[in-house]
């Protein structure tokens, strides 16, 4: 539940990361995929990707795969009724209240682009620069890209959350913008400006939707994690048998135990008592026998030993190296079997195999979801934009 809440709060507190670009005045949004007949826009994909690329070198094509899975999780969660659960409803309501309380987030956003001009300077060059900026915005270039490509120190981009901080001329132009959009270049005592406005209702609704999705996906992941963790031993063993060659070791291994005891005679007795028992019972059995007869006093190491990891196994099994006998337990012997390069069971490679099993299960699960929700992918849309998502 902690992770469930954390994701949503990140969305609330760092809205700018999720929505770094407002493509005000952009061309008609393109469709990047359809899921169950519902269109998903490129701008939605771009909003999330623009945040990811700040901390990763993930390409748009690579992120498309993760974005599709993210969307499929929301559809699958709704199909399973997770959006009707009390856990989801209660958290959503609580976080929406937080969203409403964040005036900086729920309020409209105002961006002011300025080319400074001195009082005794001509405005013509400033107007030329800002007319070029205006034309780029009209063509669909987002404001971030416009700001980053102009290196003139007189040019600046600023964000305003407080309408009272605007110049009189800026306020007048802002008042002319109905809903969202941007002004034509205009003049103030400071220089030449363009003002951009994003609508608070639209942005708040968009953010609420993103929060809802993030909560739903997090809940789905908790549910799905429990589903994957319920795999049986037979499932894992079958997966191991079907992919056995993948788990070949580069070096020989020995599966069994190393036992240090008092004498060869003791070793004989201990071997007879232990050889038919599973490894995890050996210590308990020896403690029980030792209480009746001290000849069973011994030290035991059990597990999977790769050549080079244990000097006793190296000498007694792989016939290499040497060792010093343990003090008070001078006689050492082994019980088990040499596996060479092939694991004996999925348990021998459990840590690697369980990850592979989960990955494969998820691949098959999402392949089924793509068929079930009739996914249509328009990945060619990515080829029409640059790395910043502009035309």
- Domain with 132 in it: what CATH number? 3.10.50.40
Same-domain pairing of 10 and 76? yes
Same-domain pairing of 138 and 174? yes
Same-domain pairing of 102 and 1? yes
Q: Evaluate if residue 75 carries a pLDDT over 60.
A: yes
Same-domain pairing of 336 and 300? yes
Same-domain pairing of 359 and 282? no
Distance CA 92, CA 11 (A): 12
Distance CA 243, CA 361 (A): 14
Residues 310, 253 contacting (CB under 8 angstroms): no
Q: Evaluate if residue 390 carries a pLDDT over 70.
A: no
Q: Where are the alpha helices (DSSP H) in 124-263?
A: 124-139, 143-149, 168-176, 200-229, 233-242
Same-domain pairing of 298 and 233? no
Same-domain pairing of 215 and 114? no
Task: List the beta bridge partners of residue 31.
Answer: 41
User: Mean pLDDT for the chain?
Assistant: 83
Half-sphere exposure of 159 (CA within 13 A, CB side): 13
The model's pLDDT over 79-115, given as tens digits with 9 standing for 90+, comes to: 999 999 998 988 888 877 776 555 444 445 788 999 9
Same-domain pairing of 151 and 171? yes
The residue that leads in pLDDT, 373 or 172, is 373
The model's pLDDT over 188-236, given as tens digits with 9 standing for 90+, comes to: 888 999 998 875 545 566 677 788 888 999 899 888 877 777 788 899 9
Q: Where are the alpha helices (DSSP H) in 60-167?
A: 60-79, 86-101, 103-106, 124-139, 143-149
Place of tokens 């005036």: 103
Q: Evaluate if residue 27 carries a pLDDT over 80.
A: no
Model confidence band, residue 346 (pLDDT cutoffs 50, 70, 90): very high
Range(s) of the domain holding residue 281: 249-341
Same-domain pairing of 231 and 351? yes
Q: Which helix (H) or strand (E) holds 267?
A: helix 264-274
- Which pLDDT score is estimated for 15? 46
Same-domain pairing of 102 and 208? yes
Same-domain pairing of 231 and 271? no
Q: Cβ contacts of residue 127 below 8 Å, gap of 6+? A: 185, 192
CA 42 from centre of chain: 20
Q: Which of 177, 198, 219 is the last residue of a domain?
A: 198
Q: Which of 139, 169, 198 is the last residue of a domain?
A: 198
Q: Cβ contacts of residue 338 below 8 Å, gap of 6+? A: 252, 253, 254, 255, 317
Same-domain pairing of 224 and 152? no
Place of tokens 């908790």: 222
Domain count, the chain: 3
The model's pLDDT over 253-294, given as tens digits with 9 standing for 90+, comes to: 999 999 999 999 999 999 999 988 988 899 899 999 999 999
- Domain with 69 in it: what CATH number? 1.10.4030
Distance CA 156, CA 253 (A): 66
Distance CA 332, CA 266 (A): 10
């Amino acid at each position: 539940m902690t992770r469930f809440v954390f994701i949503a709060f990140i969305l609330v507190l760092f809205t700018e990361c999720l929505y770094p670009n407002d493509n005000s005045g952009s061309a008609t949004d393109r469709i990047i995929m359809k899921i169950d007949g519902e269109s998903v826009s490129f701008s939605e994909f771009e909003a999330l990707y623009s945040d990811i690329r700040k901390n990763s070198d993930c390409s748009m094509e690579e992120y498309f795969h993760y974005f599709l899975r993210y969307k499929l999780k929301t559809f699958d969660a709704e199909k399973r009724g997770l959006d009707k659960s009390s856990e989801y409803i209660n958290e959503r309501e609580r976080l929406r209240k937080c969203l409403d309380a964040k005036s900086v987030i729920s309020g409209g956003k105002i961006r002011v682009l300025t080319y400074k001009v001195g009082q005794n300077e001509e405005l013509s060059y400033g107007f030329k620069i800002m007319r070029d900026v205006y034309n780029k915005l009209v063509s669909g270039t987002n404001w971030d890209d416009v700001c980053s490509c102009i290196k003139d120190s007189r040019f600046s981009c600023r964000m305003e959350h407080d309408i009272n901080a605007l110049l009189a001329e800026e306020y007048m132009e802002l008042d002319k913008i109905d809903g969202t959009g941007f002004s034509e270049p205009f003049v103030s005592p400071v220089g030449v400006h363009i003002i951009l406005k994003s609508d608070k209702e639209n942005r708040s609704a968009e953010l609420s939707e993103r929060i809802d999705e993030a909560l739903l996906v997090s809940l789905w992941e908790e549910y799905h994690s429990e589903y994957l963790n319920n795999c049986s031993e037979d499932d894992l063993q079958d997966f191991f048998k079907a992919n056995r060659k993948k788990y070949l070791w580069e070096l020989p291994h020995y599966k069994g135990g190393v036992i240090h005891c008092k004498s060869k005679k003791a070793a004989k007795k201990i071997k007879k008592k232990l050889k038919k028992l599973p490894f995890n019972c050996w210590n308990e059995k020896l403690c029980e026998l030792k209480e009746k007869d001290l000849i069973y006093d011994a030290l035991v190491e059990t597990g999977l030993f790769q050549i080079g990891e244990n000097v006793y196994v190296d000498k007694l099994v792989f016939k290499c190296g040497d060792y010093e006998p343990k003090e008070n337990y001078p006689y050492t012997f082994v019980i088990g079997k040499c596996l060479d390069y092939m694991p004996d069971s999925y348990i021998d490679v459990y840590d690697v195999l369980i990850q592979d099993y989960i990955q494969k299960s998820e691949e098959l699960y999402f392949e089924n979801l793509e068929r079930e929700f009739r996914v249509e992918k328009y990945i060619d849309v990515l080829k029409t934009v640059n790395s910043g998502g502009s035309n």
